[in-house]
């Protein structure tokens, strides 16, 4: 696929999703089954409006079925499914309509709150619609009015799934067949936020009114080691704090507790709800403003602004005797900004550092924390 986007000043090649692979393989298999002819490529238009011509491989024919595969091309995205073969087996069946199921290496849904119901193959609704639409087109061209059975498989899927979020989400036995646009954009923020949405929706479907959020592994370690809470209760949200809170509101959660390293959460005091460094790094500037208000001298503020890591800054503040006052001011400002973003959603925060441990928390953090210690 030779479509590109410019991201971070770099020219990056687009790829196509497992859903596109499944739809293309199914379309090719159906065409060969109903016409009796061979195909080495197949053309289809994905929901994003891009027309693709994809190579078909590993064709097998039976008396009433054809099976073939399309190789997943992730473009310049570091996707674990890059290069894997997505198969479709299309067979004639006596009843009308098109049935779609998953075979070897395609996961099964075991928990509520996902795109598909419990027990179904993890083939999401857009890929299912792509498969159905393309097979209906082939049936029309071949003047065929009978039924077709489609089974999507990924022989390497069970192994690959261990490198994905699937086991955590309750999708067992393989990968998911995914895609909303049919196209993979390298390092797509939307894809990451969509993953967060899926996990939050799952918690809500399980009846959870409150949710524990953390940016990443540092937070998960702190939750386990310092708070004594199972880190599996937390949803990892990376840098997308604002998006996560917005999704929590949309899904109807009553409250959320954010637990994170000061290097991330200090940015919330500056109303930065995407904490990725590409959007700015004002950690020291925020600390310096609160330190100045707490009485730190101009000379020490200059030193503070030259610090590289938050632990270095904390060390300086402790030596100057203003650390407690700065952290108190900082957590109040974070609480104010979280309340503004959260609206009716009760949002609390706990800040820590690897070197100094617990640093501070918003006024409502303790009551929210007790809910998770009680298993909520």
196 and 175 share one domain: no
Least confident interval from 1-10, 234-243, 283-292 = 1-10
Residue range of the domain that includes 224: 192-373
Mean pLDDT across 341-366: 96
Q: Is the pLDDT of residue 43 over 80?
A: yes
Q: Is the pLDDT of residue 351 over 60?
A: yes
102 and 81 share one domain: yes
220 and 334 share one domain: yes
CATH classification of the domain holding 45? 3.30.2110.10
158 and 220 share one domain: no
206 and 96 share one domain: no
- The mean of the pLDDT values for the chain is 92
199 and 179 share one domain: no
Rounded-to-integer distance, Cα 15 and Cα 62, Å: 31
pLDDT class of 237 with cuts at 50, 70, 90: very high
Domain boundary among 127, 154, 184: 184
Rounded-to-integer distance, Cα 327 and Cα 317, Å: 10
Rounded-to-integer distance, Cα 310 and Cα 181, Å: 40
Domain boundary among 163, 184, 205: 184
Contact status, residue 39 vs residue 28, Cβ threshold 8 Å: yes
CA torsion sign for 122, 171, 102, 96 is negative
Enumerate residues 6+ apart whose C-beta is below 8 A from 278: 8
**What is the pLDDT, as a whole number, of residue 168?**
82
Contact status, residue 103 vs residue 91, Cβ threshold 8 Å: no
* Local structure of 146: helix, strand or coil: coil
Q: Is the pLDDT of residue 1 over 60?
A: no
147 and 228 share one domain: no
DSSP assigned state of 49: S
pLDDT in tens, 153-210: 999 999 999 988 899 888 999 999 998 889 887 766 777 898 899 999 999 999 999 9
Number of independent structural domains in the chain: 2
Rounded-to-integer distance, Cα 28 and Cα 54, Å: 10
128 and 162 share one domain: yes
43 and 177 share one domain: yes
151 and 203 share one domain: no
260 and 295 share one domain: yes
91 and 145 share one domain: yes
DSSP assigned state of 76: T
Mean pLDDT across 63-79: 90
Domain boundary among 122, 150, 184: 184
């Amino acid at each position: 696929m030779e479509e590109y986007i410019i991201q971070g000043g770099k020219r990056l090649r687009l790829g196509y999703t497992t859903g596109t692979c499944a739809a293309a393989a199914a379309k090719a298999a159906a065409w060969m089954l109903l016409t009796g002819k061979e195909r080495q490529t197949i053309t289809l238009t994905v929901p994003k409006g891009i027309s693709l011509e994809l190579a078909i491989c590993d064709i097998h024919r039976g008396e009433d079925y054809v099976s073939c595969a399309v190789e997943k091309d992730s473009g310049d995205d570091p996707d674990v499914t890059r290069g894997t073969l997505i198969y479709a087996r299309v067979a004639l069946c006596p009843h009308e309509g098109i049935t779609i199921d998953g075979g070897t290496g395609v996961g099964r849904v075991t928990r509520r709150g996902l795109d598909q119901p419990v027990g179904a193959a993890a083939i999401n609704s857009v890929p299912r619609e792509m498969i159905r639409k393309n097979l209906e087109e082939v049936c029309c061209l071949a003047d065929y009015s009978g039924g077709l059975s489609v089974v999507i498989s990924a022989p390497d899927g069970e192994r690959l799934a261990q490198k994905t979020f699937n086991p955590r989400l309750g999708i067992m036995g393989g990968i998911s067949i995914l895609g909303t646009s049919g196209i993979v954009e390298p390092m797509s923020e939307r894809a990451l936020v969509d993953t967060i949405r899926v996990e939050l929706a799952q918690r809500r479907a399980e009846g959870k009114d409150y949710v524990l959020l953390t940016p990443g592994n540092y937070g998960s370690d702190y939750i386990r080691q310092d708070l004594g809470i199972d880190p599996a209760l937390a949803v990892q949200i990376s840098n997308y704090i604002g998006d996560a809170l917005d999704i929590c509101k949309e899904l109807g959660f009553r409250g959320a507790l954010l637990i994170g390293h000061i290097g991330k959460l200090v940015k919330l005091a500056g109303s930065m709800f995407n904490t990725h460094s590409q959007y700015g790094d004002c950690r020291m500037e925020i600390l310096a403003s609160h330190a100045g208000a707490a009485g730190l001298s101009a000379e020490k503020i200059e030193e503070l602004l030259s610090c590289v890591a938050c632990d270095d800054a904390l060390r300086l503040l402790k030596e100057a005797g203003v650390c407690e006052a700065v952290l108190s001011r900082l957590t109040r400002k974070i609480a104010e900004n979280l309340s503004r973003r959260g609206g009716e959603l009760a949002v609390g925060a706990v800040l820590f550092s690897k070197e100094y441990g617990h640093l501070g928390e918003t006024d409502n953090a303790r009551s929210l924390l007790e809910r998770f210690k009680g298993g909520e």
